[in-house]
Each structure stands twice: as structure tokens, then as C-alpha cells.
Structure 1
Amino acid sequence: MAVEIQPGPVDSAAEDELLRGNALCDAKRFEEAVPHYDRAIELGLRDEIVWNNRGVALDSLGRHTDALESYREALKVNGAYEVAWYNMGNAFSYTSDYEKAVECYDRALELNPSYRIALYDKGLALARLGRARKAIECYDRLVELDAEDKVAWLRKALLLEELERNDEAVAAYRKAVAIDPDHEEGWNGLGNALYSLERYEEALESYDKVLALNPRSEEAWNNKGFTFFMLGIHDEALRCYDRALAINPRYKHAWYNKGYTYHGMDKLEDGIVCYKKALELDKDDEVLWNNLGNALYNLGRYEESLPYFFAAIEVNPDYEIAWNNIGNALDKMGRHSESIPYHDKSLEVKPDFDYALYAKGYALSKLGKHEDGLELVDQSLELNPNYDHAWYAKADVLFHLDHLEEARDAVNNSLILNAGFDEAWVLRAHICEKLGNADEAEYCYREALRCHDFVLQTDPTNLEAAEAKLDLLLEFERHADALAFLESVPALAAEPDVVATRAELLLRVGRADEAVFAAHDAVSADPESGHAWRAKGRALAAVGRTREAIEALRTCLDLHEDRDAHVDLTNALLALGRTGEALASAEFAIELGAPVRALRAQILLTAKRYGEAIAAAREALRAGEPADVAWFTLSRAKARMGDAVGALAAVDAAIGADRKREEYWCEKGRLLFDQGDARRALRFLDEALSLNAEYRQAWYYKGRALEALARPDEARRCLERANGRPAGDSPK
């Protein structure tokens, strides 16, 4: 604001009032100054100066509308009075009417082209209007008027940064700090511009200049920290944030960046603590809410992440990233139908949002709409061909469409972009397996493991990486390796859910008695864990404690609806001959999506409902369930109904689907024996025994076949093996 001094005497009393008003303005006692200007006007002093100065006092009190009236009065007296035009521009700026402000500054500059303060403030108003290029012209004019004007160089640099003309911004900042080497704001701005150009080492030098001038500059410590983060020097980054927070514990940006750095280091729990600190300081930052949700999401805590994404869109309903992330979290929980509207909302806000196109496409594929999903994923890749997850999604969709060569090409692109993408290596392993390339599949599996091993070598305490490696070993059914790895990481083995996993692994490697004790520990560690109770049920069933197993599995289902537990319960009920309950349990599991139609057929077979068993086995085949089991059950049901030819054809199909199951070979031998063809039966029974020399049923039917062929000594030895006695032993 410009206060003008009265050039000459008018009425002495009026002049005294003006001078008193000016003195009070100079002392920033604006409330007291206004009555003196009013008194001067009442006494007849009505020139442009008194009206202008009165306006300045009113502006300083926030009474901008009254101030504008005073400036208008000044300009009525003297329309060529550039000071009033300038001050009127300021009043309009205070009320955010920048268009009118610029008009006023232009009038002042028409009257005085060298009016530097008007050029400064015109530049600011133009910048507020988003007209950065026009604003730069103001600062160019200022440095023409005075090449040593460091403020003009600084303002010009800031606007050049805004226009992403960072090389020019660097040059302007260098001018500012050359004029004044102690210009703290100039050095900080120079660091920021160099950072934007990814010239991180030079940026660090600039921030160090700031800190040499002012060691308590929280902003410089924060900026230096994030620059270290970009260089991958995380420990130094954290040290810098801590210095910033020691100066100002309420510095939100340092808390945010510290959290972001932990996030980048996969120390997500630490990141969450920092994000929450930042949110205590600013609950209206949608990015903070979103990133806190992301950290929980990356920990696999998808349900927990949702409220934070919803909080982000409450702050900013047009925040497309948070809308999409809600969909992503629902997708991770398998709730694909629910996810689609959130991906749609994200695309409504930003139709070309490649991440949302990919996510919606992948969700549609998971719902079985593979062609529709592929179209959206392709659109995403047209917008952003460098997104590894989109290539992965395309590969997965193509894999489900059985376009295996195209799927392999797509997953290769994903791995070219990110060689450490463990899930992509796993998908490539599955593709290679289906293409019949077992060696390549094994290589991919090992590469996936190597991704986790690399993280664990860098940070052996990283539980997320340890859990991911364990999951991978489980997926590839490397049960012994999984158990050994789990037991080598005590912190992982102590996790309640992993205690239950250990029990299941012990069962898988044939250590059922130990599995019972481990499952008991799992239930003790977390009595509300459905996983723990399921593990206990499985272990008890394996050691023959079937009734206790049923109780444990029912407890599991009371706590948590678990498809696999329904299947386990079905098997336990079937083992006790409780076919009615077993059938109900199997049918419920099928409703939940369990592929157990063949098991349902076995229950019907046990219940002597042979016709229904045949229909159920055929349904299992149509559903794509393991063909060997369905054919074997179909064979046994047909045999019970007296259809020997149909039974033989079905058991041949079972053997064709899996030649390594001794019971299938034995069943064929039995069927041939029952048809009176003992000689052919022997060949198939011997095949069963070559797969399992302890298979008593095969020894029994071999003995019977040998009896039929009048080979009594051999028959006796076989029947003794069938009864569990070494050949030649006599009963005791």
C-alpha cells in the first residue's frame, strides 16, 4: 500500500488532521488513523491524497469495499494519480478479484511505466489467474529496469517452475543467489528446480547452502531428506526428516515424507505411524488418507484400508485414485461385483485413468467376462504401456482364455518392466507348465523365490517379504521347504496365523502327531481364528480322532465361513458313515464354489444311491473337476448297478487321466476278475502293486486270481500279504 504525503499547505487544521492520520498509519494504528482522515475531509481537504491515504487505512483494517470507495473518490479528483490506481488494484487483489486488479495495475503502469511495485503486484495477480507467462513478462520488465533485483529474479524463477521450464528456472535462481549469496529462499528454490530436473546431487548442494545460512530451516531439511530418498539413500533421508521434526514437531510434510520413505522401504508399519502423525495435523489432505490406506492395503489388510480410502473421497469427492483404490481393495477380497461401481466412479472423474481401466478390466475377467476385461486392459496399455501390473493382468486374462503364447508375451513385457515382480514370475511358471515346458516353469518359480530372497537379504526382519515367500512355497506345494523356511524365521513362526499354517504343513509332510500339538498351540494363540480351528480339525482327522475333528471344524465354521473347512467337514462325516450330513455339507461347499462335485458323487455311492452317484460324477466331469476322481467314482457306481462294460470303460478313463493311482489299476483288476478273466486281472493288479507294494486290496485280489488259476502257493502268499502278515508266517 502506498501512503502519499500532502505536497503543500491547504487549510492548516485539515492539514494537521491529514498529517496525524499519516503518522498513525506509519505506526500501523489504522483504526485511529481513519477518523483523522474523515475530519480532514470534513474540514474541506478533498484532494486525491487524503482519499488515497484513507483507503490505505481502510484496506489495512480489512474494510476493502470502503477502501475502494475512497480510491474512486481519489481518482475522481485526479484520474492520472497512479498511486490510487495501484492501491485500488491491491484492494481488488485482497478480495480475489484479480481481473479488476490487473486492470488497475495496468492503468497505474500506463501513467508510470517504471512503477516497479505495480509491476510486482501485477505479476502476482496474473499468477493467481493462472497466466504464468504474462506474469513472467512483468518480472522480465523488472529485471530490465534493475538487473540486480533479486526479488524479481526469484519471482520469475518460481513462475518458470510452475510452467515446468525448470532449466530456465535454475538460471533465474542462480541470478538471485549471485546477487545475494545469503538469499535463503533463492537457494531453496534452486534446490527444488534442480530436484525437478532429477539433478539430485546438485539439489543437495543447494539445500546445504540453505542450511549453512539457517540450520533451523525445517523446509530445507525436509527437502534434503526427500532428495536422499530419490537417490535411494533411505537412512540419510530419515535422518533429515528427524532433523526437520526436531525443529518443528508439527511439520506435516516431514511426517508425510518420512512415512512415504518407510513405505518405499517396505517398512509399512512404521509408515503407518508417520502417516497418522501427519493426519493429526491435517485431516483435510486426501493424499494422506489415501496413502495410509495404501500402506494397509500393501500389508494385505484390505478391509482395514477401506475407511481411509473413503475418508480421502470425503475430503475430495473427485479424487479418482481413492475411488479406484476402494475397488482394488474389494478386488483383493474377491468382491469383484462390488468393486466395479468404484472403478466406474474413478473413470467418471477421469475417463482416461489408465489404472482404473486396468483394474476394472481385471475385475471383469475375474467375474468370467474375459473378453470385456481384455478390451479395457488393452485400453489401459494404450495410455500407459509401461505399467507392469497391466501387462500382468493382460497375461492372466489371456491365460484364462487359453491363449497361452500371447499370455507368455504379455507376462514377458511385465517382467521386462519389472524383473522383481514375483507374481509375474509365478504366472509365467503356470503358463510354461501348461505349454508343457516344465524346466522353464521351474526356472520361473525359482526367480519368484529369488525376488523375496533379495528383499530378505537386504532386510532379514521384513515380515511382509517372509510371508510372501512362505505363500509362494505353499502355492507350489513345496511343503517341506515351506516348513523349513517358516521354522528358520522365528518372528514369522510366532505369528498366530502362521502357527496354524505350521500345523497344516506338519500334516502335509506326514508328521500328523506333531500337527495335533501345533494346531493346539494355534488355537491357544488365537481362539477366534477359524484357520487355527480348521488346522486342528484336519490334524485330528489325520490321526483318526474323527469325532473331535468334526467338533473342531464346526467351531471353525461358527467363527468364519470357510469353504475349505466345509470340505474337510464333509470328509470327516463321510469317514464316520454319516452320509446324510456329509451330503448336506458337500452341497453347501459347492454353493460356496468348492470343486467337490466328485466328492458328492462318492457320498452318494457310499449311501448306495448309485443312479444319483452316476449323475453327480458326470456333473463333476462337466464342471472340469479332476477327471480321474470323477471317472473312478463313475466306474464304481456303474459296477454296483451291474454295468460291467460301463464300469471298465470308466476306470480306463480314470487311468488315462492319472496313471499313478494304484487304486485305479486295482479296480480294473477286480472288475476283470469278477468277469472271470483272472489272467488279465493279474496284469493290472501287478501294476497297482508296482506303484504301492503295501496296497493290501491289490494283494487280496491277486491272491483270489491266483486261486482261480490253480496256483495255490502263490495265492496263499498274496493273501497273507493282504492280511498284513509276511509270507510264510502262521497265525498266532
Structure 2
Amino acid sequence: MVKGNEHNSYRNVLSYTSSRCIIFFLPAPELPIVERRNWLIHQHYIRKDYDTCKAIIKEQLQETNGMCEYAIYVQALILRLEGKIQQSLELFQSCAILNPSSADNLKQVARSLFLLGKHKAAIEFYHEAARLNEKDWEISHNMGVCYFFIKDFKNAEEHLNIALQINKHNKSFMMLGKVHLLAGETDKAIEVYKKAVEFCPENTELLTTLGLLFLQLGKYQKAFEHLGNALTFDPNNYKAILAAGSMMQTHGDFDVAMNKYRVAACAVPESPPLWNNIGMCFFGKKKYVAAISCLKRAHYLSPFDWKVLYNLGLVHLTMQQYASAFHFLSAAINLNPRMGELYMLLAVALTNLEDVENATRAYEQAVTLDESNPLVNLNFAIFLYNHGEKKGALDQYQEMERKVNLLRDSSTNFEFDPELMDMAQKMGAALQVTESLVWTKPGKDSKSKPNSAAAAKTSAATLGTNQALGQAMSSAASYNKNIQLPTGTNYSRTLPRMR
């Protein structure tokens, strides 16, 4: 053994045996290091072994008297995953107290507040986090999302644009597009989604959303292009399949649309829009019992969807089941009381139920709410004429002509159903309207379609949901079985349907 006072401070003990020297290291005393188990906590957390992770966190916090920031942070993350948002918020606040200079702690506090629906409080914490870290994409994006939920679209757009400047991300593009859509800026939304598709051309969600937007605007070629690209990258993308089927259905290709819907049914068999569209395919093929069966399934899956109720009312009107039509149309009006066409169809049902007084009120409400659909006024004019009110009928006829002129001036591709044009001409003759240039019959080169969308289409729901596939198609005038015109012609016409 080595001896000497100068070696007393060493912890090594040297032992010589024959020609070798062996060094023994004595164990160092354990020191109370606060974060000595952080690596183990991290390993179990990323492996999703949460029970073991929580046990180690408990030991760590007992040893450190609750002063280990990382252990508290991971425990808060686990509580959030378990749905205990309020408890996770309290722990993240403790982390922020232990380390007030950490932007991550403030971000997590803000995130928990956001999940609790306290968007304004979350914005304040995000602002504080942004002061500590100005170049964090996540902070700017989440601030934009918070402003979006409190309907402050100007600030939402500003922060989402900042987020895109820091880092182009699909989520920011999608949210910015939604902001523009809710602000009524469809053109800007399309430009945003176009840039997003250029940045990430294989993102099926972006391609589908852009396709749905073009579909809503009636630009079927561009819609088909983007939806086709989405299906190329993901053949089982049910949103794109539903949209493509809806386009084919709009153009009367019911069998092809049904083939698309069969594929979608494998992915989302309980989708209300899917069964709604299948029902309207059967309606287009005049298989009304099958249509009602499918629509009632859609209604069962989504009882508060006014579009499904609209379609149920429409099919029952077609089958001359006016009491059932009144029931479904009344329910649809309760859910969407600002749509004039619903009141028009309700008035048709009431007329056939011989409730003239309430039918008159329904028509008056319909013309008050609707500012663009001339068919509402045409129906009201026919109703008033049949009940001997020629002056009121003339007023409604003139209002109808004014709407048609506006539609033709605003759209070069405006088409009106030939049967409805004949009906309007007969109505004009009955009212002794000598000049009716609006209702000139189309020439031989005209490509009017029997089921074309003749008048204004109601706006579809917010994009990004399945309900964006549905549109109210105005393609009918009256459903009165006995229109008392001088020509003696009875007029019966398919009513507007929604897909």
C-alpha cells in the first residue's frame, strides 16, 4: 500500500501485486441533486408508460419538496392527456412561478386556458410568452386561433400571417383560410389555399378544401381537378369522394354518384351527409320510398341538420303527403328561420292542406326574407291569382322579373328552366302583362338543363365540415296541382332539392 501524508486526501487505494497496479474507486456520496431523475421521467413519458412515469415523479417531488420544475411540467402534461385540464393548468402555473423566464411554461398555461374556453386569458399569456420568444411559430399561430374563436378576425389574420412568415405550416394556412371564409372574403380564402397547395401539393386536406370552395362557387372544372388530385394521393378520402359524388349528382349522373357513395360508405357508414346524398340520388331517380328511408337514417344520425329536414319535406311534397311535409318543413324552419325557400315550401304544403290564411303568412315571410330567388315571387303570384288577388299577383310578378334581371346582369351563364319560363309566360298572359322581355324563350343553341340551378343558391355551410357538400338548389316554381290560368293548363314541377 502507498503510505504518506501527502496521499491521505486521495480516494484511491493502490495495491501492488507482482508487476501490476490495481486502482479501486470508492463510491462517491450521494448529493441531493434536484433533477437527477429527469432523464428517467423523460424516457417513460415518451414511451407512454404514464403509470411508471407518475410514480417516479412522485418520488422526485417528495425528495425535492415539490421544487423540481421538469417533474411538475411532465405531470401536468400527463394530466392534460387524461382530460384533467384544470389540474394541469394549476401545475403549469407552478412551473411558471418556479421559472418565470421560460416561454414554454407560459405557452402551456395559455394552452390549458384555451382548452378551458378562456380565450381572452389565453391571449394575455401568449403575449407574455411572445415577449420572451418573438420567433416562435407556435405562439403566433395559437394567438391567431384564440382571436378566431372570439371573432376578432383582423387580429387573427395578423397573427396567422406572422406565423406563416416564421414557418410555413399547413395548420396556419388552414386556419387563415377559415378566418377569411367567416369574414366573407372567399376570394382571399381561395388565394390562401392556393399558396398552401403550392407549398404542400400532396396535402389531401388542403386539396379537398380548395375543391369544395370551387364547388361552392360553381367552378366545377377546377373543383374536379383538385378533388381528383386529393383522391390520387388518398383514394379513400371520404370527403373528396362525397364532393365528387355531389358534383356528379348535381349534373344528373345519379348512378355514377351512387358508385362513389358506396366507396365512401365503407369508410364512414354513419355519415349524415352521405345518407342525405344517397337519399337525394334515389329522389332524382324517382324512387321516393328509398329516398325517404335514406333521409330518415340521415335524420336519425343528425337530428338537428335543417338540410336533411328540408329534403324530407321536399320528398313528402312530391309524394303529395302534405301533413308529413308540413311536419319536416316546420322543424327545418325552427333550425334555420332565415331561409325564404323553406317558408315557400311550407306555404305550398299549407295550400294543399287548404289552410289559406297560414299559407298567405308563409308566403309573405318568404318574400320578406328572400332577396334573390325569383321563384318565391312566382309561387306567391300564382297563389294570389288563384285566390282572386290580381293586384297582389301583379306586384309579385313584377318583383320576380326584377330579380331575374339582376341575376342575368350579374351572371353571363344564367339559365332558367324552360318549363318555368313557360309557366311565367302563362302567368304574364293571365295578368295581361304585354311586354315580358325577361321571359323570352331560349334559342336552339341554348343549353338549358332540366334540373339546372335556375336561381340563386343558398350558401353552403363552413368549409372543413361535411356539411359543406350540401347546397339548396332552386329549380322549381309552383307545386299547386290546379293552377287556374286561362289556358287551362295544370302545372306540376319538381321542387328544389338540397344535396
TM-score strictly above 0.5 = yes
The answer as to 2:214 corresponding to 1:259 is no
Q: Secondary structure at the match of 1:277?
A: helix
Q: Distance in 2 between matches of 1:176 and 1:259?
A: 37
Answer whether contact 2:245 2:261 (CA < 8 A) is retained. Answer: yes
The structure 1 residue matched to 2:123, chosen from 150, 158, 170, is 170
Whether contact under 8 Å (2:248, 2:256) holds in the other structure is yes
Evaluate the alpha carbon distance shift between residue 118 and residue 438 of structure 1 in structure 2; reply closer, same or farther with a 3 A threshold: farther
Q: Does 1:486 align with 2:467?
A: no
Cα separation, 1, equivalents of 2:147 and 2:210? 21
Q: Which residue of 1 aligns with 2:134?
A: 181
2:222 to 270, 280, 283: 270
Distance in 1 (alpha carbons) for counterparts of 2:53 and 2:402: 63
Go from structure 1 to structure 2 and tell me whether the alpha carbon gap of 1:368 and 1:485 turns closer, same or farther (over 3 Å shift): closer
Change (3 A) 1:81 1:180: closer
Q: Is the 8 A contact 2:38 2:71 kept in 1?
A: no
Partner of 1:229: 181
Query: Structure 2 vs 1, CA of residues 335 and 421 (structure 1 numbering), >3 Å: closer, same or farther?
Result: farther
SS in 1 for 2:383: helix
Contact 1:85 1:108 in 2 (8 A): no
**Alpha-carbon distance between aligned partners in 2 of 1:100 and 1:417, rounded to the nearest angstrom:** 62
Aligned to 1:428: 380
- Give the corresponding residue for 2:48: 93
Does the CA contact (< 8 Å) of 1:157 and 1:173 recur in 2?
Answer: yes
- State the 1:290 CA deviation: 2.8
Provide, for residues 589-617 of structure 1, a one-character-per-residue CA deviation record: whole Å limited to 9, x for no partner: xxxxxxxxxxxxxxxxxxxxxxxxxxxxx
> Would the alpha carbon gap of residues 207 and 626 (structure 1) be closer, same or farther in structure 2, given more than 3 Å must change?
closer
Alpha-carbon distance in 1 for matches of 2:357, 2:43:
72
Distance 1:367 1:484, change over 3 A: closer
Q: 2:321 aligns with which of 362, 369, 375?
A: 369
Distance 2:488 2:262 in 1: 53
Partner of 2:93: 140
Q: Which of 207, 232, 236 is the aligned partner of 1:280?
A: 232
What SS class does the counterpart of residue 425 from structure 2 fall into? coil
Separation in structure 2 between the aligned mates of residue 435 and residue 486 of structure 1, nearest angstrom: 31
After TM superposition, the structure 1 = structure 2 runs for residues 462-611 of structure 1, keeping only pairs within 5 Å, are: 463=413, 466-468=414-416, 472-477=420-425, 481=437, 484=440, 486-487=442-443, 493=445, 495=447
Return the offset for 1:342: 0.8
How far is the alpha carbon of 1:279 from its aligned partner?
2.8
CA separation in 1, counterparts of 2:212 and 2:91?
38
1:306-358 Cα offsets, whole Å, 9 max, x none, are 34444333211221222122223333444321111112222333444444344
CA offsets 1:613-635 (integer angstroms, 9 cap, x no match): xxxxxxxxxxx8899xxxxxxxx
Output the CA distance in 1 between the equivalents of 2:374 and 2:422.
14
Q: 1:205 aligns with which of 158, 161, 164?
A: 158
Task: Return the offset for 1:298.
Answer: 4.6
Report if the CA contact (8 A) 2:339-2:370 is conserved. no
Q: Does 2:142 correspond to 1:194?
A: no
Unmatched 5+ stretches in structure 1: 1-8, 11-44, 49-79, 499-623, 628-656, 662-732
Partners of 2:401 and 2:438 within 8 A in 1? no
Q: Label 1:245 to 1:131 Cα distance change in 2 as closer, same or farther (>3 A).
A: same
Alignment: residue pair count: 420
- Which structure is larger by alpha-carbon Rg, 1 or 2? 1
**1:86 and 1:108 in contact (8 A); partners too:** no
CA distance in 2, matches of 1:467, 1:659: 25
Asked whether 1:344 is paired with 2:296, we answer yes
Higher helix share: 1
Describe the superposition over 1:364-407 as per-residue Cα deviations: whole angstroms up to 9, x where unpaired: 33323222332233334445545555444322321221223312
Tell me the distance in 2 between the aligned counterparts of 1:131 and 1:414.
Answer: 49
Write out aligned runs for 1:646-725 (5 A). Answer: none
SS in 2 for 1:467: coil
The aligned counterpart of 1:438 is 390
SS in 2 for 1:368: coil
**Could you tell me how far apart the structure 2 residues matched to 1:106 and 1:221 are?**
41
Name the SS for the 2:415 alignment partner. helix
Could you give the per-residue CA deviations for residues 10-53 of structure 1, whole angstroms, max 9, x where no partner exists? 9xxxxxxxxxxxxxxxxxxxxxxxxxxxxxxxxxx9xx9xxxxx
Partner in structure 2 of residue 331 of structure 1: 283
- Partners of 1:191 and 1:204 within 8 A in 2: yes
Task: Report if the CA contact (8 A) 1:221-1:241 is conserved.
Answer: yes
Q: Percent identity?
A: 16
Question: What is the Cα deviation at residue 251 of structure 1?
Answer: 2.4
Cα shift at 1:246: 1.9
Instruction: Go from structure 1 to structure 2 and tell me whether the alpha carbon gap of 1:447 and 1:203 turns closer, same or farther (over 3 Å shift).
Output: farther
Please tell me whether the aligned partners of residues 101 and 125 of structure 1 are also in contact (alpha carbons under 8 angstroms). no
Distance 1:481 1:474, change over 3 A: farther
CA change 1:430–1:217 in 2 (3 A) is same
- What TM-score do you get using the length of structure 1 for normalisation? 0.50
Mapped partners of 1:452, 1:156: distance in 2:
56
Give the partner amino acid of 1:197.
I
Quick one: distance in 2 between partners of 1:415 and 1:134? Answer: 54
CA contact (8 A) 1:268 1:299 kept: no
1:139 deviates by 2.8
Q: Which residue of the other structure, out of 53, 69, 88, is the alignment partner of 1:116?
A: 69
Q: Which residue in the other structure is 2:496 paired with?
A: none
Aligned AA (1:143): A
2:349 is aligned, of 389, 397, 416, to 397
- Give the aligned residue type for 1:90: Y
The equivalent of 2:4 in structure 1 is none
Q: CA deviation at 1:237?
A: 2.8
In structure 1, what is the Cα distance between the partners aligned to 2:353 and 2:55? 65
**CA separation of 1:237/1:174 partners in 2, compared to 1, >3 Å: closer, same or farther?**
same
CA distance in 1, matches of 2:296, 2:410: 39
AA aligned to 2:78 is A
Q: 1:242 matched to which residue of 2?
A: 194
Cα deviations by residue, 1:657-694 (Å, 9 ceiling, x for unpaired): 96999xxxxxxxxxxxxxxxxxxxxxxxxxxxxxxxxx
Distance in 2 (CA, whole Å) between partners of 1:190 and 1:395 is 48
Q: Residues 143, 249 of structure 1: CA spacing in aligned structure 2 closer, same or farther, 3 A cutoff?
A: same
Residue aligning to 1:312: 264
**Which residue in 2 is equivalent to 1:408?**
360
- Aligned AA for 1:399? T
Q: By how many angstroms is 1:102 displaced?
A: 5.9
Cα deviation, residue 448, structure 1: 4.4
Amino acid at match of 2:292: I
Which sections of structure 2, spanning at least 5 residues, go unmatched?
A: 1-10, 13-26, 429-435, 451-480, 490-499
In structure 2, give the amino acid aligned to 1:262. F
CA offsets 1:481-510 (integer angstroms, 9 cap, x no match): 5774735xxxx9453869xxxxxxxxxxxx
Contact 1:362–1:397 (Cα < 8 Å) also in 2 = no
